[in-house]
A and B are shown apart, each in its own frame.
Chain A
Amino acid sequence: MNSGDHSQAVIMRPVSNLFIASSMIGALLLNALPWEGVWLTLRPDFVAVVLLYWCTHKPLRVGVGLAWAIGILADVNDASLFGQHGLSYTVLAFGGVVLSRRLRMFDLREQTTQVFLILLLTYLIYAMVHWQVNGHMTWGYFLGCLTSTLLWIPISALFKSMRQMRVDRE
């Protein structure tokens, strides 16, 4: 098994709270872009992926509570039921925090399969709540789960390089 952490020669610097906060706001912004039609169906949930990244890489700082708070903001943003995103992101964060050690041992490709399951659970919870309240289901919604999983690799790579850049500068 190729363990990602040990093969790295670079030491990452501590992540500032500002970086985490701005990445979260950026994700909310990307979710809030005027997506329409097919693009809305295929839109990955940026907030979920970014949240999962921080939950797995900084489980002591970004956890269930923060995920819930972000979820409430996402509920306001999407005009969905209060607590709908909150609940699904809570479960997402729990999955991320519990599996954080295990996930960080894997390389990106192996991580992706595990991330897919966590995201699928998140999407499933959101859809279940919708189904319970409104009594019908839009199956295209689950396509977003696939694109979100695909987003995991670029987001991980991007954040990793951004965290390394901070070392190079000094």
Chain B
Amino acid sequence: MDSTQTFQVFNRGPTPAARLVFFTVLSLLLMFVDAKYRYLESTRSALSVLVSPVQRLATLPGDVWREASDFLVRQETLLDENRALHRQHEKDASKLVQWQSLQLENQQLRNLMDMQKRNQFTVQFVKIAYAERDIFRRKVLINKGSTDNIQAGQVVMDDKGIVGQITRVYPWLSEVTLITEKDHAVPVQVQRSGLRSVAFGAGDTSQLSLRYMPVSADILKGDVLVTSGIDGIYPAGIPVAQVEKIERDAAYPFARIVCLPLGGVDKHRFLMVLSSLPKLPERPPEEPVNAKPKGKKTGGHG
């Protein structure tokens, strides 16, 4: 094989060792800058334009397969699905009428009490382009980006509950960090007792945990946790998780509480992005006392 190589006696440039040192230092520098500051996002999105054809090509077979199976579905299945959806729609419609009147009532009450109105949010529908590529992280990429006015910090949910938060935006894609990502925090409230807490992602398992809850806390297995809306990122009242297991050990000051997310964090293909961002700056002065520390506030906001 050597015979094919051009034989250079002179000037091969720096030795491999010198190059190793140079590029190692460069990489370390880049990592430091990328981890500490967010200067490199524009470079990243510029390079992503270079890489995105490869990514599109890679997801093409799956998309084609799905399209084909969509096309070849039996009429009977479609009819069944249609019937089920109609039934669901009727059920939901009756609830919706009730909800609308409740909302009006709530607003009136809030006006009477001189409280701030609840945020209204608009919804953008998105599709998951690809799931977690990096084994260490709980992330998905969705098919809309800055060209569709997606911004970092927006909340992503499905029909059952919160799924995650947008952490990085490319021109045609955005990255969603799932709530199960290690140390990702969501301020929550126990729906039954109104108890506030913060739900942290547990990392590689699809679980959430409540930390720093006293052993005597009023929380039961099966309790539903909803967002408390305190951080100004997640709008209040959206379901997050259900308590799965509580370990109360007197030896430790805090109870160990494990929850399972209600949203199909790693199931669905279609998600919703909530855009309630413009109203955020008004919130902080209203509730300064309740501000809870967020473990990892990856998304820029406001």
Contact = CB atoms under 8 A, between A and B. Distances in A.
A14 interface: yes
Interface stretch (B55-63, B83-91, B98-106): B55-63
A158 B258 CA distance: 49
Of A83, A84, A87, A97, which is in contact with the most chain B CB atoms at under 10 Å from its CB? A83
Nearest to A60: B5
A73 B50 contact: yes
A81 B35 CA distance: 7
Interface of A is mostly: helix
Contacts of A87: 23-24, 27-28, 31
Contacts of A82: 30-31, 33-34, 40, 43-44
A60 B19 CA distance: 13
B4 interface: yes
Contacts, number: 141
A34 B54 contact: no
A81 B34 contact: yes
B267 to A, nearest CB: 11
A136 interface: yes
Contacts of B183: 134
Contact of A32 (B40, B54, B135): B54
A33 interface: yes
25 contacts: A13-B4, A29-B54, A29-B58, A31-B133, A32-B58, A32-B133, A34-B130, A59-B16, A60-B8, A63-B19, A65-B19, A76-B48, A77-B51, A77-B54, A78-B134, A79-B134, A82-B31, A82-B40, A83-B28, A86-B26, A86-B30, A136-B182, A138-B136, A138-B203, A140-B204
Interface in A63-80: 63-65, 67-68, 71-73, 76-80
Contact of A76 (B30, B44, B131): B44
Nearest to B40: A82
A83 B4 CA distance: 33
A144 interface: yes
Contact of A104 (B1, B51, B175, B182): B1
B139 interface: yes
Contacts of B244: none
A133 B35 contact: yes
A122 interface: no
Contact of B24 (A5, A76, A77, A90): A90
B2 interface: yes
A78 B133 contact: yes
B170 to A, nearest CB: 9
A31 B51 CA distance: 12
A94 interface: yes
Contacts of B137: 79
B30 A79 contact: no
Given A14-B4, A76-B44, A68 B23 contact: yes
Contacts of A67: 23
Interface stretch (A35-43, A113-121, A147-155): A35-43
Contact of B131 (A11, A36, A73, A80): A36
Contacts of A49: none
B35 to A, nearest CB: 6
A83 B1 contact: no
Interface in B192-220: 203-204
Interface in A1-35: 5, 11-15, 25, 28-35
Given A60-B8, A80-B134, A98 B34 contact: no
A129 interface: yes
Contact of A138 (B12, B131, B135): B135
B29 interface: yes
Nearest to A59: B16
Contacts of B23: 64-65, 67-68, 86-87, 90
Contacts of A35: 133
B34 A83 contact: yes
B131 A94 contact: no
Contact of A98 (B1, B8, B16): B16
Contact of A141 (B12, B29, B47, B136): B136
